[in-house]
Chain A
Amino acid sequence: MNYMPGTASLIEDIDKKHLVLLRDGRTLIGILRSIDQFANLVLHQTVERIHVGKKFGDIPRGIFVVRGENVVLLGEVDLDKECDQVLQRVSIEEILEEQRTEQQAKQESERLKLQAVKERGLSIPKADTLDDF
């Protein structure tokens, strides 16, 4: 039953599996159990999913309470569609390893870029003065 037609409300999403993207880039998948007026979420049987390329790994996390302002977006997971995944599930260690290598590669390219830019006499503002995402 739609309590508030024409509005966006999380009430109908309760007790359904959701994918939540957080501001720090993490992806959580869990059953949405409770909300409040700030869209703080309580996720049950949560799993943090790390994606690297075409692979992904799940880290079971248990119960998550997420402060509303840290949510970028969330959406209901279609349980039927979830079964046919294009991506390949790997073990946690493997995905963490992949993530580490990806991070390293990114840092390396950033470093090279910065160096090249410096050589040309330009400067790029430091990342820590900017927002993360």
Chain B
Amino acid sequence: MDDSEHPEKTGESVPDASWPENGDQWSDKGEEEEDECGLLQEMAEEDEEIDLYNEETFGLDEATNGDNPAADPMDLLLLCSDNSPTPQSSPPPPHSSHSASRPGSRVWPHTPTGWSQRGRAGRGQLFDDPAVVKTVEGRPSLKSLDSAIVDCSLSSYWEDLNSNTWMIAPQKSSRPPAASILQDQAIVGVIDRSRHGRVPPVSPNFLSPMRPFSTSRGRRGPPFVGSFNQRCHYQAQKNPMVPCSPFRPQRLFSPQQQYNQPGGFLSPSRPPLSTPMPHTPKLMHLQFGTDSPRPAPFYSPSTNIMQGFRAPGPVAQFHPQHKRLLSQRQQRPHRKPVSWDPYSQIMTDKEKEWIIRLQMIQLQSKNPHLDDYYYQEYYQRIEAKLAEEEILGDRLKKEPPKLTTPYVTKALSYIPVVHIEGSLGQVAVSTCFSPRRAIDAVHANTSDEEHKDSRRQRLEVLSTIEKLYIVLLEVEEANKMKATVSDKDEERRLMQNIKRKVDQLYNELRCTNLLDSGEEFISCLLISKGKSMLARLLPFLSHDASLHILSVVTKNLPVLMSKDTDEALPVLYPSLRAVIDRLAFSQLIRNLKEFTATLPDSKDTRLTLACQNKFGLSLLYALLSQGERLLSSDLPMEPSIGDFETWTDTVFHVARQLSQTTLVEPLLLPSNLLTLFCRYLDKRTVHQLKNNMESATGYLAVAS
């Protein structure tokens, strides 16, 4: 029997998570009850079930006889366990199971005192005695409590009820056989399905097994309908349900929803119940039949789940727009019944809300811009577009529908690994984020061998790069946020943050050494990911740092070009171009000198090699173009000694080379190159150059 409780428990934990907004509210009130939870709670739940079933069977006595039913279902079972055949003389109403476990939670007209004492003891005995447990085994406890299996419990319920009826009846000689009663009560009313709609879903913390009722019951057993009609009478009065316990609001809410069919939320529109109802509150929701009086909603509509959200706990704060959204939904009028489709209300509004809520919880995040980047970007762009339209004259301020999810303000930290001192290994702590941490896989750092496998080295560098990518993303995001944030302190803080991270990136990347090469940055430049990472990092670097990288690239151009199998070098071009455009003349000259200097291990120059490589050529062009720009502009250049000579030498050299070798198509052909060449070279050479360059590019190089 315990097993049947556990699914219920776990089932409860899920919807509890789905109402986090409510959790705070509930825990405040239900604390005293919570203390008694655990076994007692389970027992109470079991009691309810049993009570209910017995109510069904024997409770009708109340209707017929008008006196208090000895119909205390607990009595029956206590009888079984205690072997005491005498029924309790003054049995309190059978709702005592609730009250026993939650003394403060309800106000019962007949507060059972003797019962509670007896109840507790009895309950203990009841559950200790396996024999007693077995008698109720036939009840569909698990099925009725499992929210996923709603209809199953319905069908099985009746069979069980019947069987239990027959089972229990012989034991109680004082009671008339239940079946005959039920049949005598006969059919009070035919359930009008379209009017009553569907039963609410069994929400997992709804403990009463009677919950999964549907109007389809009517199809099954009309005789039973009658009994429930009776029940509800008793139920209603007995139930000034104050939702104090954590679970109560849920439970009470769902059954009530039946009354608000079709399709609406809890509506206080029902006429209050006038007839006195002496019995089980549990049966309140059993009301069926069109002409039976409906119990008044004993709890105000404000226990509406939606309104429950109004008091967010520390876990989730609601975005004001979200609050608005929720309150709007609340005020939404009842959907009118879709009369043409009799099955249209199979999924009630509450169920829909539940799913939506669940999905929204999954969208909760502390940093939506990080977690849900694409949607946030998309929404920002749409908003920007709309704002633009608005400015342009489209007065209609239509706000695009936005998915507002509750954003979590407090970070719930959990300890994924719990280590008890002195123990071997870890304690298994599973959460929804880390369901199973069986092993603690630690990356074993291999010793620094002299001859490391180059591939392994490469992998190490790759892993470093990948780890640094996260830092880079943070930098980019902080940069983006910096533009939007208005607070000066925040901005300053962000900038410091950015700077710190950029420095970290720079230092780490420069240290990566592949094949013990003395050059910094080379190892990461040899890897495509490293190239793209540097390209993204360059805009954030200081001028000196970016210069350094540019010189590294230029110096090692042959190596880079030869090892660039993926042709990923061009990704560096835009960022490097931006750096070059900021170069001063002398710095430019220094870089250019590299091109014409002969390489140590071959007689080629970087120049000759660059002609064959897109990136190299583009880099060269960019440098030349910058030089030309600097020269032709009016800004003072502050050249160092020998700069101009170097410059002219380089230009000649380059021109000669370019005109002789076949060129590849560069990434970008700057427009002022030919102007530059015209200045220094004779017409013929220029013409030759021009042809050469054009043949490579396929489009005309603009000439003055």
Contact = CB atoms under 8 A, between A and B. Distances in A.
B359 A9 contact: yes
A71 interface: no
A35 interface: yes
Nearest to B346: A33
Given A14-B352, A15-B344, A33-B347, A5 B402 contact: yes
B347 A34 contact: yes
Given A14-B347, A15-B338, A44-B343, A7 B402 contact: no
A2 interface: yes
B341 to A, nearest CB: 6
Contact of A6 (B148, B351, B356, B402): B402
30 contacts: A1-B332, A3-B352, A3-B356, A4-B359, A4-B360, A4-B403, A5-B400, A5-B401, A5-B402, A6-B375, A6-B379, A6-B401, A6-B402, A6-B403, A9-B356, A9-B359, A11-B356, A14-B347, A15-B338, A15-B341, A15-B343, A31-B343, A33-B347, A34-B347, A34-B351, A35-B347, A36-B148, A36-B355, A44-B343, A44-B346
B667 interface: no
Contacts of A15: 338, 341, 343-344
Nearest to A34: B347
B358 interface: yes
Interface in A1-43: 1-7, 9, 11, 14-15, 31, 33-37, 42
Chain B interface, >50% SS class: loop
A48 to B, nearest CB: 20
Nearest to B360: A4
Interface in B331-370: 332, 338, 341, 343-344, 346-347, 351-352, 355-356, 358-360, 363
Nearest to A32: B347
A5 B363 CA distance: 13
A14 B338 CA distance: 13
Interface string B574-593: 00000000000000000000
Interface residues of B, number: 23
A31 to B, nearest CB: 8
B351 A4 contact: no
Nearest 6 A/B pairs, CB to CB: A5-B401, A6-B403, A34-B347, A33-B346, A3-B356, A37-B358
Contacts of B402: 5-6
Given A9-B359, A36-B148, 20 more contacts: A3-B352, A5-B400, A6-B375, A6-B402, A6-B403, A7-B363, A9-B356, A11-B352, A11-B356, A14-B347, A15-B338, A15-B341, A33-B343, A33-B346, A34-B351, A35-B347, A35-B355, A37-B355, A42-B346, A44-B343
Contacts of B355: 11, 35-37
Interface of A: 1-7, 9, 11, 14-15, 31, 33-37, 42, 44
- Residue of B332, B356, B358, B375 with most partner-chain A CB within 10 A: B356
Nearest to B362: A37
A20 B363 CA distance: 26
B358 A5 contact: no
- Residue of A6, A7, A15 with most partner-chain B CB within 10 A: A6
A44 B341 CA distance: 12
A6 B378 CA distance: 9
A125 B378 CA distance: 44
Contacts of B351: 34
Nearest to A10: B355
Contacts of B401: 2, 5-6
A52 B379 CA distance: 44
Contacts of B341: 15
B359 A37 contact: yes
A36 B356 CA distance: 9
Contacts of B360: 4
A2 B403 CA distance: 10
Nearest to B356: A3
Interface string B298-341: 00000000000000000000000000000000001000001001
- Residue of B343, B352, B378, B379 with most partner-chain A CB within 10 A: B352
A45 B347 CA distance: 16
Nearest to B376: A6
A42 to B, nearest CB: 8
A34 B360 CA distance: 18
A4 B356 CA distance: 8
A35 B347 CA distance: 8
Nearest to B382: A6
A44 B344 CA distance: 11
Interface in B387-444: 400-403
A66 to B, nearest CB: 14
Nearest to A45: B343
A9 B354 CA distance: 13
Contacts of A36: 148, 355
Contacts of A5: 400-403
A1 B353 CA distance: 12
Given A15-B341, A15-B344, A33-B347, A7 B352 contact: no
- Residue of B332, B338, B400, B403 with most partner-chain A CB within 10 A: B403
A33 to B, nearest CB: 5
A101 B352 CA distance: 45
